């Protein structure tokens, strides 16, 4: 097996030869003339002169050897539906969707916005866009009208593909009224809406504009739609980053570089083999859903599970039952989901045959050590953390066990992946910090690898000013995360650079305090925010979900537990990091993808407007904090 350090070094020092090898993992109509064109930094063009197609690589090329193998496995515990599509059947469905989009006037380079629940038709729409050279942008299903309107206005789609409704925890959320209101608010008006009627909510139709998917699909059932061969540097899709304020920021991705990056990551990182099954519990509204529900596993010739539902409904064994049933080999989820499962009966982890599983990959937020140990002990397989961003498209830091088996370290997402020149720099001077355990900003030196964002949609200047201009004296990509690197080269992410608390001149990362509080045996979840203080500038405020609620049944017990938690922080980080208060709540405010809404918590603590909360999972979580502080 290759030595990973050499593998990584070669990806930086012999970049063209390295990535030319990885490019052989996909099909090309025309081989690339230039592997890496970085002549205009920070912009990079990968595999220029090459022509390929994402849909061909995800679907068509597998028809020869595995037409009757499972490709897309759709499971909904919301509607109790389950359907397996073979590659042959997926090919037919995608062609049907492509034919319908063409009939609505969509041409190469046109935009299609997808506003869908986690149903098979959403994947058909993404792949159909890729097939015909249309650019897609998936917006999380159920996103509020104002936010959706800003994306419609920025992306200017000619067609929007949507559905009558989504469902979560058995509650139906009607999409069509939200979509109609968004179009009313947007200066841009799409020519057509293509609507999937699930029979969950009534839909008002606008004659001439709104089209029924089932009706048009039947009309185009047997139409053959060949793949359009696209330049490697053409745009495949845009995706809007979560948490943006003001004008939305569309991350723009290419075709060829993205295909190669995903094919390589499935082999080197996610241990995917043709014929196996991959299960990512994310949503297509997020980049994980693009890379590792739809494109990545299918490019690798794997079956991929598309799941609509919660991890604890009908019970906390639902995911593990799917692992057993479909012999899942690689699973991808988020630390938040594992923390949810951690509160359930641990017997669910032992109920099913999980022997097919090679590893569980976790990403989306830092993975704390207690959570990692709990799931590791429960599953008995490697737990592989990985760190990346919407902007990167695939992991920046993790362990590439497909190259060389290496140990994971709990609390660390791992080491830099091939193609990524990751450094830690001083935020004020830009000086590279090369000694172990020095805290600085995690940055990436250009050129960025294949699959990384090309630019911000329609705004090159914003791409440069936002990402490449914040570190003094050099042009490097800032992740806006604090980190340290240990003596073995493993990185630890300490939280956002904008989540720093400045307590009486001491700079503290909220992540460090959260990690410390999490080590208390009765802490299930924690969020720490910096709150303005007239004396110290800021103080830390902790909001904690506990395991055993009897520990706070009266004021005395609550004060004792609060004191115990503060002592843990005192002992581990020192008195300066001790929170001013530890407040006990039953749940924390999060987005539907599981990210903590720390800025909203901070705003409530400071008596400010928490802003746009359209992605909040449960509004009562924020209300609980408001009531506590009242």
Confidence of residue 546 (pLDDT cuts 50, 70, 90): very high
Which position has the higher pLDDT, 497 or 382? 382
What topology is assigned to 84-223 in CATH?
A: Rossmann fold (3.40.50)
pTM of the model as a whole? 0.87
Interacting residues of 556 by C-beta distance below 8 A, sequence separation 6+: none
Q: Over 50: is that where the pLDDT of 245 sits?
A: no
Give residue-wise pLDDT tens across range 162-207: 999 999 999 999 999 999 999 999 999 999 999 999 999 999 999 9
- CB distance 76 to 118 below 8 Å: yes
Q: Looking at residue 510, what is its pLDDT?
A: 84
Residue limits of CATH 3.30.300.30 in the chain: 504-629
Query: What integer pLDDT is reported at residue 505 of this predicted model?
Result: 64
Q: What is the dihedral of CA 331, 335, 337, 339, to 10 degrees?
A: 130
Percent of the chain residues topping a pLDDT of 90: 77
Taking the C-alpha atoms of 127, 130, 134 and 137 in order, what is their torsion angle to the nearest 10 degrees?
60
Split at pLDDT 50, 70, 90, the class of 443 is very high
CA 331/CA 406 separation, integer angstroms: 19
Residue 479: per-residue pLDDT: 94
Q: What percent of the chain has pLDDT over 70?
A: 97
**pLDDT value at residue 79:** 97
- What is the distance of C-alpha 445 from the center of its chain? 22
Would you place residue 129 in the very low, low, confident or very high pLDDT band (cuts 50, 70, 90)? very high
Task: Give the C-alpha separation, 337 to 374, whole Å.
Answer: 13
**Average pLDDT, integer, range 239-267:** 86
Where along the chain do the CATH 3.40.50.980 domains lie? 84-223
Residue 603 Cα to chain centre, angstroms? 25
For residues 16-38, b (16+ Cβ closer than 10 Å) or e, as one string? eebbbebbebbebeeebeebbbe
Q: Please provide the DSSP assignment of 408-476 as one string.
A: --TT--BEEPTT-EEEEE-TTT--B--STT--EEEEEESSPPTTS--EETT-HHHHHHHHSSSSTTS-E
Which residue carries 């047997």 as its tokens? 222
Sign of CA dihedral 66, 72, 77, 80: negative
CA distance 84 to 79: 15
pLDDT score at 468: 97
- Record the tokens describing residue 353, joined without a space: 């045959």
* Token code pair at residue 261: 């990056």
498 has pLDDT over 80: no
Q: What pLDDT shows up at residue 219?
A: 96
Work out the average pLDDT over 229-247. Answer: 81
Which region holds residue 105: left if phi is over 0, alpha if psi is between -120 and 50, else beta? Answer: left
* Average pLDDT of the chain to the nearest whole number: 93
- pLDDT bin (cut points 50, 70, 90) of residue 127 is very high
Tell me if 68 sits within 8 A of 52, measured CB to CB: no
Out of 3.30.300.30, 3.60.20.10, 3.30.360.10, 3.90.1170.50, the CATH code matching 504-629 is 3.30.300.30
* Strands 415-416 and 51-52, bridge-based pairing: unpaired
Question: How many C-beta atoms lie closer than 10 Å to residue 274's C-beta?
Answer: 13
């Amino acid at each position: 097996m290759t030595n990973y350090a050499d593998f990584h070094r070669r990806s930086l020092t012999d970049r063209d030869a390295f990535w030319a090898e990885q490019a052989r993992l996909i099909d090309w109509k025309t081989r690339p003339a230039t592997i890496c064109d970085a002549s205009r930094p920070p912009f990079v063009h990968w595999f220029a002169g090459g022509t390929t197609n994402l849909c061909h690589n995800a679907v068509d090329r597998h028809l020869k050897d595995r037409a009757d193998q499972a490709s897309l496995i759709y499971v909904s515990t919301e509607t109790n539906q389950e359907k397996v599509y073979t590659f042959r059947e997926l090919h037919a469905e995608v062609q049907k969707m492509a034919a319908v989009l063409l009939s609505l006037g969509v041409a190469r380079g046109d935009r299609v916005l997808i506003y869908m629940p986690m149903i098979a038709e959403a994947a058909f729409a993404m792949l159909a866009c890729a097939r015909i050279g249309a650019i897609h942008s998936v917006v999380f299903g159920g996103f509020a009208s104002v936010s959706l309107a800003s994306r419609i206005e920025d992306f200017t789609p000619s067609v929007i593909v949507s559905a009558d409704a989504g469902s979560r925890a058995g509650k139906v959320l009607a999409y069509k009224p939200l979509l109609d209101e968004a179009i009313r608010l947007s200066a841009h008006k799409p020519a057509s809406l293509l609507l999937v009627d699930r029979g969950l909510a009534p839909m008002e139709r606008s004659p001439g504009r709104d089209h029924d998917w089932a009706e048009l699909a039947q009309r185009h059932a047997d139409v053959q739609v060949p793949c359009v061969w696209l330049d490697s540097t053409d745009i495949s899709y845009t995706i809007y980053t979560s948490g943006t304020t003001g004008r939305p920021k569309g991350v723009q991705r290419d075709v060829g570089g993205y295909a190669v990056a995903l094919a390589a990551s499935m082999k080197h990182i996610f241990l995917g083999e043709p014929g196996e099954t991959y299960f990512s519990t994310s949503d297509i509204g997020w980049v994980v859903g693009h890379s590792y529900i739809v494109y990545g596993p299918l490019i690798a010739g794997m079956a991929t599970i598309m799941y609509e539902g919660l991890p604890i409904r009908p019970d906390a064994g639902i995911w593990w039952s799917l692992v057993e049933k479909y012999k899942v080999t690689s699973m991808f989820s988020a630390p938040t989901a594992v923390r949810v499962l951690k509160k359930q009966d641990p017997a669910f982890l032992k109920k099913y045959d999980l022997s097919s599983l090679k590893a569980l990959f976790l990403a989306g937020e830092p993975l704390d050590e207690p959570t990692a140990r709990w799931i590791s002990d429960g599953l008995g397989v490697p737990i592989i953390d990985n760190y990346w961003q919407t902007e990167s498209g695939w992991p920046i830091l993790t362990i590439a066990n497909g190259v060389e088996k290496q140990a994971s370290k709990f609390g660390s997402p791992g080491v830099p992946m091939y193609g990524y020149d990751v450094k830690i720099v001083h935020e004020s001077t830009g000086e590279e910090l090369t000694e172990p355990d020095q805290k600085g900003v995690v940055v990436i030196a250009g050129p960025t690898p294949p699959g990384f964002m090309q630019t911000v949609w329609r705004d090159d200047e914003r791409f440069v000013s936002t990402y490449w201009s914040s570190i003094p004296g050099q042009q490097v990509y800032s992740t806006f995360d604090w980190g340290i690197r240990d003596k073995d080269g493993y990185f630890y992410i300490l939280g956002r650079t904008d989540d720093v608390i400045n307590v009486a001149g001491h700079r503290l990362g909220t992540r460090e305090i959260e990690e410390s509080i999490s080590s208390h045996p009765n802490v299930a979840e924690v969020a720490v925010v910096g709150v303005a203080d007239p004396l110290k500038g800021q103080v830390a405020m902790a909001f904690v979900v506990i395991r055993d609620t009897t520990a706070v049944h009266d004021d005395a017990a609550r004060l004792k537990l609060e004191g115990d938690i503060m002592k843990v922080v005192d002992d581990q980080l020192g008195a300066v990091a001790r929170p001013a208060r530890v407040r006990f709540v039953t749940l924390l405010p999060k987005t539907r993808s599981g990210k903590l809404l720390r800025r909203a918590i901070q705003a409530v603590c400071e008596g400010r407007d928490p802003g746009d909360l359209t992605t909040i999972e449960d509004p009562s979580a924020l209300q609980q904090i408001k009531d506590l502080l009242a």
